[in-house]
Each structure stands twice: as C-alpha cells, then as structure tokens.
A and B are shown apart, each in its own frame.
Chain A
Amino acid sequence: MAAPERDPLTGYSTTGHEWDGIKELTTPIPHWWVTVFLGSCLVALLYMWLFPSFATTTGVFKGTLGWTSEGQLAEEMAAGRAAQAEWRRQLADTPLDEVERQPDLRRFAIAGGRAAFNENCAPCHGVGAGGQIGQFPALVDDDWLWGGSLAAIQQTVRFGIRSGHEETRDSMMPAFGEMLSAGEIDSIADYVLTLSDPSAAASRARLPGAELYAANCSACHGAAGEGGRDFGAPRLDDAIWLYGGSKQAIRQQIATPRMGMMPAFAGKLDDDTLRMLALYVHSLGGGER
C-alpha cells in the first residue's frame, strides 16, 4: 500500500489506496454541509430535551417545557373562549327575548346553539330537528308538549323531562289497559280521531266514546282535546301524532302509554350554551312568543 500523498491538481490528499496505478482522493465533505449537519443534530438534541421524546422503563420523559398535545388543545380552546368572551358576556347580560332583536348577538348565539344542538340533541331529535315519529318530537313544527316560548324551551333543555332532576318536568299518563275494557278503549280511540276533524264537530258528541273521554281523558287533554302544557299532555285536536295517528296506534297509546324521557342538560352544559340552545331551537320555525 502506498502512503497517502497530496494530489497536485486538486490539493487534496489521497487515501493511500492504489489499484493498478489508480489512486483514490479523499475529497472532504464541504464545510458548510458538515456545519449544517452538526447544527441539525444539535437542534434535534435540543428538541429531545425540550419535548416528550423517549420512553423510559417506568414511563416517558416529559420534556423540560412540560408540553402535551392535550395541554395545547386546552390552551387553544381557552384562547377561542377568550376571543368569544365579549359576546358571551353580552349574551349572559341580555334577556333572551332581547337577544332576538339584536342581529349580531342573535347570529352568535344561534351559531353556538347549532353546534351544541348537533353535539347534544341531534342523536334523538335529528340534525334538522325533524324528530322521529313514534320516538322523539319534532322541534321545527308549531306543536309543543311543554311550551314553545323561549323561557319554556330553556326550562325543558335545562331540567329535562322525566329526567330525575329535582326540577324536572314530570307527568304520567295512566295505563288504561288495566282500567277499561278493550271495547271502551276502542270507542275512546274512535272519538279521539274525530277531534281533529272539523267536519265531525257536531256529530262527535253522539259517539259512545264521548262520555268515556270526558270522564277519563279531558282532565289532562282538555274537553275538546286542546291539550295541557302544564302536564305535557299533547293536543289531540291537531294533525301531529307523536306516536302515530292510526286508530291502532291510538288504542295502543291509551292501553299501554309510552312517555318520552329527556335528560337534563343543566350541569352538563354551561349556562351560555343552554341559552344558545334555547335561542337556536326557538329559531327553527315554531318558536312562540
């Protein structure tokens, strides 16, 4: 093996290897490249020191900055909240029916309400709040079991229906299947069907179910089927039937009634969000004054 020598043309030395007179230059890596490479290594070490970077036998090295992705999310959420602070303060200070008259505040509340609705309410009531016949009431129509004013909606959202909350809206329809015969239930169903038919206004009093209805049902549902919002008793004189409007469905509802349950959202959602939800539901087309 020949000794390393300096190549006269390039100024670099050779490796000292030689094959058939061919020698190999040790062309060094450029300085700038080495500098950048070493600098990058230092930056990588710095990152490892600052951030969670490697597992230990008992857990994980947490980094000296104490950074976590959860913490970052929380910070960003807090920053988002802080950016909304002025709007939220206004919303908290303004009575709900006053909010409806302030276009910008209303837009803020309804946007927040829509997001909260899609997260918390849509699973039952549907994304468009169309409800589901036989299950959950529609919130876009003009029929309300417990009232459709802003205050009534807010109370329902806050405390729920048969939710177990101490301020919950609560009522119970008796199961008439054990108290009345099948024939009597049949006549009541026939009578209830005529309540929403204006052409039967004169003739319906002669039906056999009229007397039975007056004795058993009118206390809650009203003498003419106008419903009773104090007890969440639905109107029977309209075109909307939560559990179905066929005679069979009505008979079943008299004999073994189903009653919906809605959870209370007070405590689960903050006060601002509850107000936004009430405003949003109120804006869907059926809101009452």
Chain B
Amino acid sequence: MPATTLQGLAPSRAIARPDIPHAVRGRFRRIKTALTGLMLGLYFLTPWLRWERGEGLPGQAVLFDLPGRRLLVFGLEFWPQDLPIAVGMLVFGAMALFFATTLAGRVWCGFACPQTVWSDLFFAVDRLIVRLVGKGASERRLRTLAWVLLALATGVGFTAYFIDAPSLPGLLLTGQAPAIAYATVLVLTGTTWLLAAYARERVCLHMCPWPRFQAALLDRQSLVVTYQDGRGEPRGRRRTPLRPDLAQPAPAAPAAPALMGLVAQAVAFSAPAPSPSLRGDCIDCTRCVTVCPTGVDIRRGLQMGCIGCGLCIDACNEVMVKLDRPEGLIRFDVESAPRRSFLAPPRVDWLRPKALAFGLAALLALGFSGYGMATLAQVSVHVEPQRNPPFVQLSDGSVRNDYALRLAHRRAGLARVVLHAEGLEGALLRLGTQDLPAADVVRVAIGSDRTLDERLLVVLPARAAPSGRRDVTVVVSEADTGEELARIPTYFWGPER
C-alpha cells in the first residue's frame, strides 16, 4: 500500500512510511488497546446477551425487531413513534462529541471511532501475520484471507442485532435465513473490507468530514497532540551536542507563545541546517511518523490528518527514555497556556464557556431522552369515529355510533382491559366480534400479539341521543386493578332535531 499524505504536507525530509505502521508500546497504546477491545467486544457480544421478557416475546437483550417494528433494549421497548427519544440521543451524541473535541481535540477519532477501531484491528492483524510468516506471497494471501474473515465476522455480527443471534449462524449456513439477512451480511462485509481493510487511513484523510470542521471546534485552549518545537529544534544526530539550555536541569527561559509560533513557522518553511553544531531534543529518528496510523509528521504542527490518537507520544517517549531525556517532547498540550518550562505539565482551563455550553447542551439532550424513556406510554389506543354513515338509526329509535378501535401495548402482564364511554349517560358498548349483549362497559382479552383491532359499537337510547355532536371520552382501564391506562377524547353524533 503506497504511503498517503495530504497534499502540501509532504515531510520536509523524505521519510519512508511503512505500509503497516510500526508497533509501539506506551500509555496511549494501552488505552487504545483497551478501548479497541472494549468496543469490539461490545459490538460482537451484545447480541448474545439474553433478557427474559415473557412468553411470545424475543429473548434477546438488544434486538432490532424489524418485522415487529420495535427496538428491544433490555427492559425497554421502543416503537417507531418514540423517534424523538432517538433524536434526543443523537443530539446528545453530537453535543458530547463537540464537548470532547473542544476539551481534548479529536479523542473520538483517535480512540472510539469505528473506523479507527477496525483499522487498528486490521493493522494489528497485519503486523501479526508479517511477524509470523515474514513478507512475501504467502503473507499477502494470508492477510487477504484474514481481512475477508474479519469483514465477514463483522457482517454476521451486525446481522445478529436483527435476527435472534444464537440461531443466526445455523440459519445462514443452511440457507434458511431471509434474503435481507444475506444482503446485510454481504453489504457489511463489503463495506468493512473496503473501509477498514483496504482504505483505512484514507477514509480519515480524504472521506471523513470531521477533520474539515474540527477547526471550528478547536481553540487555543484545546488539548491537542503537540510537538514542543522549542524543546525539540533544531533537530540533529544523536552525536551532536545538546543545546546547553536543555542539557542544564535549570528550567528553560519561558518563551512567549507568539514567539513560539514564529519559531514554528521558521522551522516549517526553512530547510533545517544540514549539520547544526547544537541540537534540541529531537534526534529526527522519525519514529513518530512510522507509528502514525495516518502517516502525518506531527512535528509540522496540528494538521488535518492528525486523529489525536497519541501513538506518536508513546513512540517519542520510548526514544526519550533510551536517550535518558525527560518524556513529553510530544505530548497532549494546549497552545496558549503560558509554560514555566517544557517539562511542566500543561495547564488546562476546563471551565470555558464553549465547553460548558456544549456540555450543558449534551446534558439537556440526555435529560430529554431520559425523561422520554421514563415516561414511555405503555398502552397506545386509537379510537377513530367511523363517519360513513355518521350515525346509525336503530329500529327501537336508539342511535349507534361506530368507532375503529386499535390498541397496542408493551406492558408485562396486561391481559384484559375494560372500555367505558365517559360523558354519555346510558351508553351501551360492545365490540363488533362480540356476541354479548351490549353493556355499559366492554371487557376484552388481549392476545399474545398484544394488539387489538376491533369495531367498537356505542348505542345510545333515543331520549339520550344528542342532536348533533357531543364530546365523549373513551376510557381504557386495566380489567383487574381498574388502573386507568388511556383516555381518548372523541365524539358521538346524533340526528339533528
């Protein structure tokens, strides 16, 4: 795979970028490994969790039940009309992302983005294969095989969110799974192979919109991966003597940020001196470039290709330890904070209006969704007057109105409900399928499909029938406890008198 760099950001010195970034050990590598393991584990194992919901209901803890048009998440059941909750969660996700970016740069990109997680997995697999069999034709074949298998696993893992996970592999293998399941596996396998195995960092560099607007979110107080050019420059070979101000344990003279900016520009646009007589802490070993998953040279400053994963920090620290120099030549740092010395930790101003605003917006959105989840209507009832004809004249002079009654519920143990028309004295109710004589309340059992679709007939004696329209409330209650489940305002129509 040829090296990819952003146009105009070619390294000042030709650095041979490996086709697989080199491995590195360190703090951020450990965090990244732990997070990658956690995310992949969550992705692959979540569908296998079980959750008993009762008879006739799926036993999978997290299931997108498309035929049933519902999303099951442990004890919660979402219906399409609960979409505002999902909107709230999306707004929360966006605001939390802005909040994190404002505080600590592209930590999402570096640690949690699926593209990063899967690319990291594929890089690790590639490195392992090269270590086991060395370079060559068999290595290439083995890598392709591993890519396809991992992509296939990702595709099947995704499909398991939609079809009962334990029975899915059997269904897929015996050809009994629905066609859409095969299509999903195929598409997800394809996209995983394309994005994570083939394109990898090119997605971050050329496809993803996020780097394009990170500039709007980052400011001079954000923590970003920073090469301390004041400490590192000028670069030189290891044999070259160290700058005396760095060699001394005494703190370096504080440099004004503006001055540091000028230095950075000077470094970036002038070729480094071929053989300086003194050097800074950077020995130009290019480890920071060869471990970078996107292949940027962080020493050129914050740039669009940097996903903020901190692997260059680990790589540089390894070298600094070998050189017996303090760590942190590359570190998470803020641009504007005054520094007492290159070694002092950065001072982060956490309480900034922008960060607080994003944090508050995220909390509000989360609260909105949480409130929605806590107050989900467990029973949904629709009572629709049938207006053709608006009323039915019966033989004994009484007047009947018909309603389309639809009920759906997601409440455990709800087996029977009672319907009753409030505001209509003497009204007699029955359902179209019931043979029972009409009574002032109608009792109905709800089956295991947890829905009712019935014609509700309401009869009013001649003397009680209204002339024209009268407002009525249909009250639905639990049959045994009498608990009110829903009140639906509607109307009753009688002949004009």
Contacts and interface: CB of A to CB of B under 8 A. Distances in A.
A283 B432 contact: yes
Contact of B392 (A100, A127, A141, A283): A141
B299 interface: no
Contacts of B386: 128
A285 B457 contact: yes
Given A130-B388, A235-B395, A238-B395, A285 B455 contact: yes
A235 B394 CA distance: 12
B363 interface: no
B395 A240 contact: yes
Contacts of A239: 393-397, 462
Contacts of B397: 196, 238-239
A257 interface: no
Q: Is the interface of B mostly helix, strand, loop or mixed?
A: loop
Interface string B376-415: 0000000000111100111111001010000000000000
Contacts of B396: 238-239
A259 to B, nearest CB: 20
A241 to B, nearest CB: 9
B480 to A, nearest CB: 23
B389 A142 contact: no
A150 interface: no
Contacts, number: 55
B55 interface: no
Contacts of A126: 388-389
Given A140-B402, A283-B432, A285-B457, A240 B393 contact: yes
B455 A283 contact: yes
Nearest to A238: B395
Contacts of B433: 100, 103, 106, 283
Given A285-B400, A285-B432, A138 B388 contact: no
A89 interface: no
B435 A289 contact: yes
Contacts of A128: 386-389
A238 B397 CA distance: 7
Interface string B186-206: 000000000000000000000
Interface string B424-455: 00000000110100000000000000000001
Given A283-B432, A285-B455, A142 B388 contact: no
Counting contact residues on chain B (CB < 8 A from A), the size range is: 10 to 19
For chain A, give the interface size range: 20 to 34
A238 B389 CA distance: 19
Contacts of A103: 433
A103 B392 CA distance: 26
Interface string A141-176: 111000000000000000000000000000000000
A143 B389 contact: no
Contacts of B388: 126-128, 130
Interface in A79-131: 100, 103, 106, 126-128, 130-131
B467 to A, nearest CB: 15
Nearest to A100: B433
Interface string B346-381: 000000000000000000000000000000000000
A138 B396 CA distance: 15
B400 to A, nearest CB: 7
Contacts of A142: 394-395
Contacts of A140: 389, 392, 400, 402
A143 B395 CA distance: 6
Contacts of A138: 389, 392-393
Given A140-B402, A285-B400, A285-B402, A130 B395 contact: no
A285 B392 contact: yes
A26 B298 CA distance: 50
A140 B386 CA distance: 12
B432 A141 contact: no
A141 B457 contact: no
Contacts of A130: 388-389, 392
A138 B400 CA distance: 13
Nearest to B462: A239
Given A130-B388, A140-B392, A141-B392, 9 more contacts: A103-B433, A128-B387, A130-B389, A141-B395, A142-B394, A238-B396, A285-B392, A285-B402, A289-B435
Interface of B: 386-389, 392-397, 400, 402, 432-433, 435, 455, 457, 462
21 contacts: A100-B433, A106-B433, A126-B388, A126-B389, A127-B388, A128-B386, A138-B392, A140-B392, A140-B402, A141-B392, A141-B395, A142-B395, A196-B397, A238-B397, A239-B397, A240-B393, A240-B394, A240-B395, A283-B432, A285-B400, A285-B455
